[in-house]
Amino acid sequence: MKQLKRILHVEDVPSIQVITRIALEKLGGFEVLSCPTGQAALEQVEAFAPQLILLDVMLPQMDGIELLRQLAERIDLSEVPVVFLTGNLQLDNRDELQRLGMRAVLGKPFDPLQLANQLREIWEGRDV
């Protein structure tokens, strides 16, 4: 199995972006592209070629669920797992989201010291 290296992170709150980036780059050793909006993610996803997408549900203009639908039209989400990092753990349409490529849901607040390991476990197909 290939090693997880590149993560696309979509989050509109600057402080959460910074904490997540530090947790993933400094502690996890990943290359991270942070996007503040779904539109920014759509514009950069193909060039960045992420191996995993970490996605907030509550985003301005386009929520994470709609972004997931649009990402599924651009890249093969069966090869690129999507993990929602959200305070909204009660996703009504989990079946549809899993068909589109959602692999897991992690809650906010999250433990920055554990995030990289949690994403590696998801990447390797283990439940977290």
Residue 93's alpha-carbon distances to 7, 101, 124, in angstroms, are 24, 13, 24
Domain that holds residue 63: 6-123
Number of structural domains (the chain) is: 1
pLDDT recorded at residue 40: 97
Q: What is the value of pTM for the model shown?
A: 0.92
User: Does 126 score more than 80 pLDDT?
Assistant: no
Sorting pLDDT into bands at 50, 70 and 90, what band is 86? confident
Q: Which residue has the higher pLDDT, 48 or 108?
A: 48
Is residue 1 included in any domain, yes or no? no
| CATH number of the domain to which 63 belongs | 3.40.50.2300
Is residue 52 included in any domain, yes or no? yes
Is residue 128 included in any domain, yes or no? no
Mean pLDDT computed over every residue of the chain: 91
Per residue in 14-38, is it b (16+ CB within 10 Å) or e — as a string? eebbebbbebbeeebebebbbbbbb
pLDDT recorded at residue 97: 82
Is residue 72 included in any domain, yes or no? yes
Rounded mean pLDDT of 77-83? 92
Q: How far is it, in rounded angstroms, from Cα 21 to Cα 35?
A: 11
